[in-house]
Amino acid sequence: MTVIGLVGAGHMGSGLGWALRAGGHDVVTSTAGRSERTARLVAEAGLRVVARPADVLAEADVILVITPPGAALAAAADIAADPGVAVRPGNVRPIVADLNAVAPGTAVAVAEVVTAAGFDFVDGSISGPPPTVRPGAKIYLAGPRAAEVADLRWTHAVPKVVSDRIGAASAVKMSTASVYKGLMGLMTQAIRAASAHDVLAPVMADLGESFGTPYEVALASTKAHRYVAEMREIAQSQAAAGLTPELFEAFAAVWADVAARPLADDRPETLPRGITAGQVADGLR
């Protein structure tokens, strides 16, 4: 049986671990140095916990890395620094599949770090919420061994091989996230501005739910600290495509401001679904 290791078992990581465990995989992670919330999410997902991150690397055939986007290179360096990595039976190198929301150039840089340390690399990205929230997340994969990761016993998530080229799966995420999180950023700013001008009710009536419900805006706000680096990765991705990076550099500033507001301190899993636009505006003052 393929052993799956998780580096980063927060809300998304534990959700994907749960989906793979439901498929019959042994899913292992370490909560050393992690928060009580992470430990709780790991326990709720039924994942096997080992003492040290190095133990995860020693046991796993496939290591899924799911960290905040700004931590992707640091996570790669931590993985590469472990001296105990060895090829698996049959002289097969273990796979590191980085599923973070990063620019294609960042994915290539991560690949260089981990392959030099004795791993093979798969570029990946995730579209959709954790399977524990809503089934159906898409797992985009790219690289020479992407099909092996796609062939894992995924449940409640759908793997899609994009290309054998490192960076292609990340490019998918950068393009889709620019729409999803860009529109959510616009809706967030609209609510805040309308509230400041005391016209929130007619604005919400006019917009309806076409660009995001109050709950979706609040949910994004709880993740704003992660979005800052992701917006900068999107800006980098668009610059590499010959486009101006300024739009998403501005969105990084928007989410940085949201991250400093009280609503951003809430947790996605405890956020009330009935939250109103007025409550969202109050939480973002």
Provide the pLDDT for residue 40: 95
CA-to-CA distance for 227 and 177, rounded, in angstroms? 10
Domain boundary among 115, 150, 166: 166
pLDDT at 83: 66
In this structure, the answer to whether residues 134 and 237 fall within a common structural domain is no
Do 125 and 207 lie in one domain? The reply is: no
Structurally, the chain folds into a number of domains equal to 2
What are the phi and psi torsion angles at 167 (to 5°)? 110, -20
Reading the block at residue 272, the tokens are: 């009330």
Instruction: Outline where the chain has alpha helix (H).
Output: 11-22, 36-45, 53-59, 72-80, 104-116, 146-150, 168-196, 200-207, 214-222, 224-240, 246-259, 277-283
* Rama region for 71: left / alpha / beta (φ>0; ψ in -120 to 50; rest): alpha
Tell me, yes or no, whether 239 and 195 share the same domain: yes
Q: Are residues 25 and 148 in the same domain?
A: yes
> Which string of DSSP letters, residue by residue, matches 185-250?
HHHHHHHHHHHHTT-HHHHHHHHTTTT--HHHHHHHHHTHHHHHHHHHHHHHHHHHTTS-SHHHHH
> Cα–Cα distance between 33 and 161 in angstroms, integer?
33
- pLDDT given for residue 88 in this prediction: 79
Residues 116 and 183 both lie in one domain? no
What's residue 50's pLDDT?
Answer: 96
> What is the extent of the structural domain holding 179?
174-283
Residue 86 amino acid letter: A
Residues 102 and 188 in one domain: no
Q: What is the CATH number of the domain that holds 63?
A: 3.40.50.720
The pTM is what? 0.94
Q: Are residues 276 and 160 in the same domain?
A: no
Which run of H or of E encompasses 63? strand 62-65
- Using only C-alpha atoms, what is the Rg of the chain? 19
The pLDDT value recorded for residue 84 is: 66
* CA–centroid distance for 76 within its chain: 15
Same domain? For 35 and 147 the reply is: yes
pLDDT tens track for 219-274: 999 999 999 999 999 999 999 999 999 999 999 999 999 999 999 999 998 999 99
Residues 17, 146 within the same domain: yes
The strand order across the sheet containing 120-127 reads: 48-50, 26-30, 3-7, 62-65, 95-98, 120-127, 137-142, 157-163
DSSP state of 130: -
* Residues 132, 198 within the same domain: no
pLDDT < 70 regions, the chain:
83-84, 86
Same domain, yes or no, for 7 and 141? yes
Query: Is the distance from CB of 20 to CB of 154 less than 8 angstroms?
Result: yes
- Report in angstroms the alpha-carbon separations of 218 from 4, 103, 187, 210: 32, 26, 11, 16
Which amino acid does the sequence have at 238? Q
The last residue of one of the domains, among 166, 185, 220, is 166
Are residue 240 and residue 115 in the same domain, yes or no? no
User: What are the distances in angstroms from CA 207 to CA 22, 62, 176, 194, 276?
Assistant: 40, 45, 22, 12, 14
C-alpha 130/C-alpha 121 separation (Å) is 23
Handedness of CA 42, 47, 48, 52 (dihedral sign): negative
Beta bridge partners of 158: 138
| Domain C-terminal end among 143, 166, 189 | 166
- What is the per-residue pLDDT for 82? 79
